Amino acid sequence: MSVMMLCSSLLVFIFSLRGVSASGVLVVYANKSAEVAQGEDGLLHCRFDKGKKETDEGDITVIWRSEDKHTGPIIFQCSKNSRNCSRSVGRFSLVGNIENDNASLLITDARMSDADTYFCRVELTGSDKYTAEGLNLKVTKPRKLHSIFVRIDENGTTFVTCIVIGDPPPSVMWVEPNLTAASDVDQLSSYATLSSVPVQVFNVTYTCQISTSKGIQNLSISSTSLCNNMRSDNVTNNQYDWKLILILILMCVLILVGLAVATFALRRPREGKKEEIEVQPTYGNVLPPPRRQQRMNIYKE
């Protein structure tokens, strides 16, 4: 008896590891996590086993949720009898054949907001229902070369620089004029880096290269572009210097005008008070006020 109980317990433990529900429906993922680059198509694997239950005449329903296995929003749902499993719901579509126990979901043009936990649920006719554990989808920045340009550092050294983005940013190789790795790498962010090589000669083409899931990417800049870019930088710097000088002259003129206006405003009240004291009223033949009369008597004595 104890041996039979031990064997039964072992079988239950094994089936629980495989993800078998009490109703005999098995749902397994190819992986517990998936990764896709932004803008590419991502595949969420889901397969199930109906066990011993025959469902040739019965219905099979597949439900995909996000966030939560019970209450999360439904992003895709279809059933065999409804014959609607070949349609797309937005960017979501079923790529598996549910009659072959495949309920894999395809997400086209993946976005950063698609990064989430997804749950695959299978329902058979009757009460056989099972939702598997979550599948974590990670959406990464696609690897690509953003741009190539010429720059001059604080020491006056000229560099050709490529900006590369990705999660993480890929390594850059310079294949022209010589095959070499970048001599100067600067981290702009967790998704972008600057890869640079010093300019040795100006009569060649400089090319940077990376490897991506879609193949090799190259960006090049010619010697003519190098010269034009450097000339353009010099012209821009000269224009900037002249603009700065004009701004300084304008500021000086405004300061002088402000000082002149302030001086005039301060002097004006004093002049008005002086005129008020000096101007005396004329009385004609009428005797002056007593104070003036007293002053005239003093002069006569």
pLDDT for 291: 54
User: Per residue of the chain (301 residues), what is the pLDDT tens digit?
Assistant: 444 444 444 433 333 334 444 445 566 676 788 999 888 899 999 988 876 655 556 788 899 999 998 899 999 999 888 888 888 899 999 998 888 889 999 999 999 999 999 999 988 877 678 888 889 999 988 888 889 988 888 888 888 899 998 888 888 888 888 888 777 888 888 888 888 888 887 778 899 998 887 788 889 987 555 555 555 554 444 555 677 788 888 888 888 888 888 887 777 655 444 444 444 555 455 555 555 444 444 444 4
Q: How far apart are CA 164 and CA 151, in angstroms?
A: 16
Domain ranges of the chain: 19-140, 144-221, 235-268
Cβ distance 99 to 80 under 8 Å? yes
Architecture of the domain whose range is 19-140: Sandwich (2.60)
pLDDT for 288: 54
Architecture of the domain whose range is 144-221: Sandwich (2.60)
What is the residue-wise DSSP string for the chain? -HHHHHHHHHHHHHHHHHTB-TTS-EEE-S-SEEEEETTS-EEE--EEE-TT---SSS-EEEEEEES-TTTSPEEEEEETTTT-TTSEETTEEE-S-GGGTB--EEE-S--GGG-EEEEEEEEESSS-EEEPPPEEEEEEPPPEEEEEEEEE-TTS-EEEEEEEE-SSPPP-EEEESS-EE-SEEEEEETTEEEEEEE---SSS-EEEEEEETTEEEEEEE-HHHHHHHHHHHHHHHHHHHHHHHHHHHHHHHHHHHHHHHHHHHHHHHHHHHHHHHH-----TTSPPPHHHHHHHHHHH-
The reported pTM is 0.56
Strand-strand pairing, 33-37 and 135-140: parallel
Pick from 127, 132, 126: nearest CA to 101: 132
pLDDT for 25: 57
pLDDT for 52: 60
pLDDT for 177: 81
pLDDT for 235: 45
Domains 19-140 and 144-221 share a fold: yes
pLDDT for 231: 52
pLDDT for 129: 80
